[in-house]
Chains A and B, each alone.
Chain A
Amino acid sequence: MNVDKKPVTFMILAVLAILVGTLITTFIPLFTGTVILSTENVIPYTPLELEGRDIYIREGCNNCHTQTVRPLEFETKRYGSYSQLADSAIDRPHLWGSKRTGPDLARVGRKYPAAWHYQHMKNPQSMYPQSNMPAYTWLTDSKLDGRYAEQKMKVLGYPYAAGDLKALDGKTEMDALVAYLLRLGKELRP
């Protein structure tokens, strides 16, 4: 068979070749339970934490910070216990990242109190003079826009009470981001 004389047949064969590895390694595991875990031990995000996570995404923090601790001795000594499937089981999207210009943040919520984060986000160089992290001063002045908070919780299927949404009133973007950072490393019920 001369497939190089039949473009349609050729494309069908190319699609089939592409789909084999695609299905076996990526899309069948979505449904077979190979990757999916029970999420009952995962503490859902509050609206404030979720808004903070969206600010983390908006500012592209994941370009410099990973959120996955590898099961290697030197790594768990630096960052804490290694990441497990359950930690990110409800995360849409995942924020594992691919480059550590700054340190991994998967367990950062266990490490520093809120006041540390406020100071560091506003002026990283005041704490580490040689740090190359940008200052995110303007987040302190930006009022948090909670217009879509309820819609977001619904889309993601996280449970919430009316009071959780009320908690967004009067908050700044910095408040939300810090609330998110404080949650990192505390995803699972003890």
Chain B
Amino acid sequence: MANEIKYEYDAIKGFAVSSLFWAIVGLLVGILISIQLVYPQLNLTPWLTYGRLRPIHTNALIYGFTVPAAFSLFFFLVQRLGRVPLAFPGLAKFTLYFFNIAIVLAALSLFAGMSQSKEYSELEWPLDVGVVVLWVLFSINIISTIMKRKEEQMYVSLWYILATVVGVAIVYIGNNISVPVSLFKSYSAYAGANDANVQWWFGHNAVAFVFTTIPLAIFYYILPKSSGAPLYSHRLSIVGFWSLVFAYLWTGAHHLIYTPLPDWIQTVAIAFSFFLIAPSWASVINGYGTMGSQWEQMRSNYLVKFVVLGITFYGLQTIQGPSQAIRSFSALTHFTDWVPGHVHMGTMGWVTMTLSAGFYYMLPRIYNTEIYSIKLANVHFWLVLVGQLIYSVTMWITGIRQGAMWQALNADGSLTYPNFIQTLTPNYPFWNMRTMGGVIFFAGFLVFVFNIYKTIKHAPAPQKA
């Protein structure tokens, strides 16, 4: 019956493939910079120094992997949940080409050192213009398709999609206001503490509208679909949604604790960080409640496994995050490897697991086939889980260790480790373990890509009408 509506899948397929390609690039760069931290002689040329590669790692996985994965899955969700074909299929295909050209130029510009320096906002102004155009093109298709929908009530996933559409636009534009000096160089419109405040308002809400609302939109669709169980509580999802989009924007300054930024802004951010536990856990509880008495599916259903572990890491992430906002805990862990450990639990655990489940669910359906191998999907699951745990746990340990060494004072009040290098070198064995965790995760991701490739390859040729 669903086949009576002529759904539009071409751009969806293209964005899925692009997303997987750029994920591989981003993960490889991640492994390289992880090794460089212990073996500095691997900073071979100016283009391959850590300082230039690290933004390529983060940008490739945010804008090269997560964003096109969202384009792909969102174009699918708005059609299925609205029971209507995509509003502008031609525009969607144009968006796909535009995206890939933009991301190639973005990577080249970062290799060349063209950078605004603000984290996750490094791209220089001409590329920012490109990102905004891309986002507008994507939004036109999403909003128009939702407007034309046949299903009157918008399901939770569509709320999170709409929040992503407006949220990314607001924070990306807000943080990238700058004055050009030349085609390749600009200066931020904001100065000093203001610039820092705007940057982390953006930084934390890139987490909100890329790493939270995107996977949540997918989570709310895939979990009931793959488990066959109805969503536990509609009311809880309403409360969770509105309190999340309200509260997130207040929290950016928890990245600036003990900086010169006025205390009241820091304190408000800390308070709202704790408030944010409630809407985050509304989704976690909704997930667990949906599983209800069906926990045996954790053994039998690989999709459920990905989604439930994903939402579990989301739950842990949203407890750990606020705890880091406590001033005394921030004093210990901020600026250390604890923080990348935290971030990677979210990205490698929650985001990647949920997006993977989205692709495993969607791609066989739009290619009219079955997943190539459930066994390989399980291998993928265990490898990314183990890789991520090794990554995060080693980073937490060495982060606490380094933070404690920085703080250590002798009885006479002098620093126990006055030379910074004394606190640095004990990181090396942990960083090597982290590299190992990253390689295991990457191996799992390659299994995933192989499984998807085989699935697509074995798909029957589309029937011509």
A contacts, CB < 8 Å to B: 2, 4-5, 7-8, 10-11, 14-15, 17-22, 24-27, 29-30, 34-37, 54, 57-64, 66, 68, 70-75, 77-78, 83-85, 87-103, 124-125, 128, 130-135, 138, 148, 151-152, 155-156
User: How distant is A155 from chain B, measured CB to nearest CB, in Å?
Assistant: 5
Tell me if A11 and B193 are in contact (CB < 8 A): no
Kindly state the separation between the CA atoms of A128 and B162 in the bound complex, as whole angstroms. 52
B contacts, CB < 8 Å to A: 36-40, 43, 46, 49-52, 54-55, 113-119, 143, 146-147, 152-154, 158-159, 162-163, 165-167, 170, 174, 179, 181-182, 185, 187-199, 201, 238, 242, 245-253, 255-256, 258-262, 264-265, 268-269, 272, 331, 335-336, 339-340, 406-409, 413-415, 418, 420-421, 424-425, 428
Q: Known A5-B154, A15-B166, A57-B117; judge A29-B265 contact (CB<8 A).
A: yes
Which of B114, B189, B258 interacts with A72 by CB under 8 Å?
B258
Q: Known A59-B113, A89-B192, A94-B195; judge A134-B50 contact (CB<8 A).
A: yes
User: How distant is B174 from chain A, measured CB to nearest CB, in Å?
Assistant: 7
User: How distant is B86 from chain A, measured CB to nearest CB, in Å?
Assistant: 15
- Other A-B contacts than A18-B170, A21-B248, A74-B408, 18 sampled, CB-CB below 8 A, are A7-B154, A29-B197, A30-B198, A34-B262, A36-B194, A57-B117, A59-B51, A63-B54, A68-B260, A72-B258, A77-B409, A92-B190, A93-B117, A93-B187, A100-B335, A134-B43, A134-B50, A155-B179
User: How distant is B60 from chain A, measured CB to nearest CB, in Å?
Assistant: 15
Tell me if A93 and B116 are in contact (CB < 8 A): yes
> In the assembled complex, which residues on chain B have CB atoms less than 8 Å from the CB atom of A57?
115-117
Tell me if B182 and A151 are in contact (CB < 8 A): yes
User: How distant is A180 from chain B, measured CB to nearest CB, in Å?
Assistant: 13
> In the assembled complex, which residues on chain B have CB atoms less than 8 Å from the CB atom of A134?
36, 40, 43, 49-51
Tell me if A35 and B113 are in contact (CB < 8 A): no
Which of B50, B162, B163, B420 interacts with A60 by CB under 8 Å?
B50
> In the assembled complex, which residues on chain A have CB atoms less than 8 Å from the CB atom of B118?
93
> In the assembled complex, which residues on chain A have CB atoms less than 8 Å from the CB atom of B159?
4, 10
User: How distant is B257 from chain A, measured CB to nearest CB, in Å?
Assistant: 8
**Could you list 30 A-B pairs, sorted by A, with CB under 8 Å?**
A5-B153, A14-B166, A21-B247, A21-B250, A22-B249, A26-B201, A35-B194, A35-B261, A58-B113, A60-B115, A63-B50, A64-B51, A66-B335, A70-B331, A74-B407, A84-B260, A89-B192, A93-B118, A96-B196, A96-B256, A96-B259, A97-B335, A99-B340, A101-B37, A101-B424, A128-B421, A131-B424, A132-B424, A133-B40, A155-B179
> In the assembled complex, which residues on chain A have CB atoms less than 8 Å from the CB atom of B52?
59-60
Tell me if A35 and B40 are in contact (CB < 8 A): no
Q: Known A18-B245, A132-B37; judge A73-B409 contact (CB<8 A).
A: yes
Q: Known A18-B249, A92-B188; judge A30-B194 contact (CB<8 A).
A: yes
> In the assembled complex, which residues on chain B have CB atoms less than 8 Å from the CB atom of A83?
259-260
Tell me if A11 and B195 are in contact (CB < 8 A): no
User: How distant is B442 from chain A, measured CB to nearest CB, in Å?
Assistant: 21
> In the assembled complex, which residues on chain B have CB atoms less than 8 Å from the CB atom of A19?
170, 249
Tell me if A88 and B201 are in contact (CB < 8 A): no
> In the assembled complex, which residues on chain B have CB atoms less than 8 Å from the CB atom of A75?
406
Tell me if B190 and A30 are in contact (CB < 8 A): yes
Tell me if A99 and B335 are in contact (CB < 8 A): yes
Q: Known A93-B187, A138-B46; judge A74-B242 contact (CB<8 A).
A: no
> In the assembled complex, which residues on chain A have CB atoms less than 8 Å from the CB atom of B162?
7, 10-11, 14
Tell me if A25 and B51 are in contact (CB < 8 A): no
Q: Known A70-B331, A91-B191, A93-B199; judge A151-B249 contact (CB<8 A).
A: no
Tell me if A152 and B193 are in contact (CB < 8 A): no
For B143, the closest partner residue in chain A by CB is A7
Interface centre among B117, B188, B268, B272 (most CB of A within 10 A): B117
> In the assembled complex, which residues on chain B have CB atoms less than 8 Å from the CB atom of A125?
40
Tell me if A11 and B165 are in contact (CB < 8 A): yes
Kindly state the separation between the CA atoms of A17 and B250 in the bound complex, as whole angstroms. 11
Kindly state the separation between the CA atoms of A34 and B39 in the bound complex, as whole angstroms. 45
For B250, the closest partner residue in chain A by CB is A21
User: How distant is A28 from chain B, measured CB to nearest CB, in Å?
Assistant: 11
For A90, the closest partner residue in chain B by CB is B191
Q: Known A26-B201, A54-B185, A93-B195; judge A11-B49 contact (CB<8 A).
A: no
Q: Known A89-B191, A96-B259; judge A25-B252 contact (CB<8 A).
A: yes
